[in-house]
Amino acid sequence: MGVGVAVSMEQAGRCVRVLACSLAFTAAAAGCRNVDVVTASYATLDEARLAGALGGGRMPEGLPPGTREIREARDLDTNRRWGLFAFPPDQGNALRQLIDAEALALDDQECDIPARIEWWPVLLRGALNTDSIRATGLHLYPHRSSDLLFAVNWEQGRAYYWTKKARSPK
């Protein structure tokens, strides 16, 4: 004969309410992260410049003059930033002036982008995988004078940049 546990309807209801409140609180707390992330899109570099997106920590200065199809996002609380753009491949030297010459290994890098930035490629979210990303033609480079990382496909004239995730002390 098994041992049973008798639970009153009142006790069961109380447990359900506590569980529901806990889940609601967890969802609300998770939803509050990254609430100060703002995004913008620009057809051309000139449009971005007119909107005040260049300088001031929004977009890197010195992008190729033919830069187009620009999207940028920034976290107003933490100053993290992400962006993507296309550029004429024959203007790649302007971009090369902004980054180190040696490509980095991707396996020890991460990209911490809010999930709601839907235009960011899945391949560049979270922990990065060198083989998968290099198979797409992208190479990773650090910016020469900031904490930005650039993933660049030189042949296609496509680039992504983001704030390097700070390493936690060991």
What's the pLDDT tens digit per position in 31-71?
A: 445 568 999 999 999 999 999 999 777 899 999 999 999 99
The whole-number average pLDDT for the span 11-15 is 59
Q: Which of 29, 26, 41 shows the shortest CA–CA distance to 117? A: 41
The whole-number average pLDDT for the span 70-96 is 96
- Domain range for 54 is 37-163
Residue 107 is assigned to a structural domain of this protein: yes
pTM of the model: 0.78
Residue 21 is assigned to a structural domain of this protein: no
Residue 26 is assigned to a structural domain of this protein: no
**pLDDT tens-digit readout, 100-136:** 999 888 878 899 999 889 999 999 999 999 889 999 9
pLDDT, position 36: 82
Q: Whole-angstrom Cα distance, residue 109 to residue 97? A: 22
Residue 2 is assigned to a structural domain of this protein: no
* Neighbouring residues of 89: CB distance < 8 A, sequence distance ≥ 6: 154, 155, 156, 157
Q: Whole-angstrom Cα distance, residue 119 to residue 80? A: 17
* Neighbouring residues of 170: CB distance < 8 A, sequence distance ≥ 6: none
Residue 25 is assigned to a structural domain of this protein: no
pLDDT, position 106: 81
Residue 16 is assigned to a structural domain of this protein: no
Q: How many domains does the chain have?
A: 1
Residue 14 is assigned to a structural domain of this protein: no
Residue 13 is assigned to a structural domain of this protein: no
The whole-number average pLDDT for the span 133-140 is 94
Q: Whole-angstrom Cα distance, residue 104 to residue 89? A: 21
